[in-house]
Amino acid sequence: MNTLVEKIKALKEEKNAVVLAHCYQNIEVDQVADFVGDSLYLSRMAKDTNADMIIFAGVSFMAETAKLLSPEKKVLLPRLESGCFMADMINVEQLKQFKAMHPNIPAVCYVNSTAAIKAECDVCCTSSNAVNVVKNLGANEVLFLPDTYLGKWVEAKLGGKVKVTTYNGFCPTHLRLRPEDIEASRNAHPKSKILAHPECHGKVCELADFVGSTKEIMDYVQNTSFKEYTIATEKGVYDRLKRDYKDKTFYLLKDTLVCQNMKWNSLDDIYNALLREEHEITLDESTSERAMACINKMFEITSKNTLGV
Ligand code: 13P
Ligand code: SF4
C-alpha cells in the first residue's frame, strides 16, 4: 500500500503540480514540498514554475501572491483557515484613511497584506528586501503597513535617512516575546546567539544578537560557526535548523512562538487539496492588475539594487 507521501507525489506528477511550503509550516510538509523557504523565495518560485497547479502550504496572502504572479495557474490553499492576523489588521477603508492622514507620501506594503491592499499601494516588500525597497524608492518619507515593527526596524536600519510612518499592525506570534524573555534566555544560555525576526517588538530586536528575515536567520546559522543559537521567530524555523544542523544546538526562545495559521496544513489536507482541486484562489481582474503593479515595482527595485536581496 502506498503511503500518503507517495500518493501525494503521484498526484503531483499526474496533475503537473508543485507544492510550495513556507518554513513556518509543520515540518512533515517538507516531505512533499518542491520548494521550502521564506515568502520572497516562494514568490520567485511561483513566478518561475512551469507547473499547471500550485499547492500553497502557507497562509492566504502568500497563495494570493502566487496567483498574482502566475495568473494562468490553478493556485490552491489546502486549508481556508490559514489567514494571517497581521494582514487582516488593515482593510481598504482603513488604508484610505491612513493615506488621507498623510497625503502624497508613497505607501509601501509588506507582502503580509491582501491583494486588495496591495492594489492600493505603490510598492510591496518582504522582510528580506524591505530595507532595500525603502532605501531605493528615492523618497524622504514613506508610509509602511501593516507592520509597525518591521517599518520602524527599516527606519532604524537606514539610520533615519528615510522617515517611515507606520500603520499600527503587528504579528501576535512575534509579539509574544517580551524583552524579559531575552534576558531570561541569556541567563540560561549565555553563549547562545539570539536571532530575531524584525516583526518582533523593537526592544526585543535591540537585545538580540542578529535581526533578519527567516531566510537571513537561516543563512546566519549556515554562515557562522557558533555552537548555540536561540531562535526568536516562529517554531518552524527552529524545527528545520535542528533537523539540518546536527552539530549545532538550538533553543526556541519561547515555546509559544507558534503561528497557528501556519500550522493548519497536514499531509492529509495537501492530499485532499490536490485530489479535489480545492480551495482555489481567485482574484478579480482590476484588483489583480493593480496589485501586480505593486509587486512588479518591488521586483524592479530589487533587481536594480543588490543590497539585501
Ligand atoms: P518571511 O517574509 O520572512 O517569510 O516572513 C513571513 C511571515 O509571515 C513572518 O511572520
Ligand atoms: Fe501572519 Fe504572524 Fe503568522 Fe506571519 S507569523 S503569518 S505575520 S500571524
Cα 53 to ligand 1 centre (Å): 23
Return the domain boundaries, the chain: 3-83+262-278, 87-168+288-302, 174-258
Question: How far apart (Å, rounded) are the C-alpha atoms in residues 219 and 200?
Answer: 19
Q: Which ligand number lies closest to the CA of residue 83? A: 2
3-state secondary structure of 21: strand
Cα 40 to ligand 1 centre (Å): 9
pLDDT band at 151 (very low <50, low <70, confident <90, very high): very high
Which CATH code for domain 174-258?
3.40.50.10800
Tell the residue number behind the cell numbers 544542523, with chain if given.
245
pLDDT band at 306 (very low <50, low <70, confident <90, very high): low
The pTM of this model reads 0.95
Q: Is the dihedral of CA 69, 87, 213, 260 positive or negative?
A: negative
Instruction: Pick the more confident residue, 171 or 213.
Output: 171
In this structure, the residues whose C-beta lies within 6 A of any atom of ligand 1 are 38-39, 112, 126-127, 171, 199, 213-214
Residue 67 confidence (pLDDT): 96
CATH for the 87-168+288-302 domain, from 3.40.50.720, 3.40.50.300, 3.40.50.10800, 3.30.420.40? 3.40.50.10800
Helix axes 4-15, 267-276, angle to 10 degrees: 30
32 Cβ below 6 A of ligand 2? no
Q: Which ligand number lies closest to the CA of residue 87? A: 2
Set of cell numbers at residue 206: 535591540
As a whole number, mean pLDDT of residues 15-36 equals 98
257 Cβ below 6 A of ligand 2? no
pLDDT band at 1 (very low <50, low <70, confident <90, very high): low
Which CATH code for domain 3-83+262-278?
3.40.50.10800
Q: Hey, do 87-168+288-302 and 174-258 end up sharing a CATH topology, with the first three levels equal?
A: yes
The pairing of strands 163-166 and 210-211 is unpaired
Q: What percent of the chain has pLDDT over 90?
A: 95
State the amino acid at position 49 in one-letter form.
Answer: T
CB neighbours of 256 closer than 8 A, spacing ≥ 6? 176
Cα distance from N-terminal residue to C-terminal residue, the chain = 45
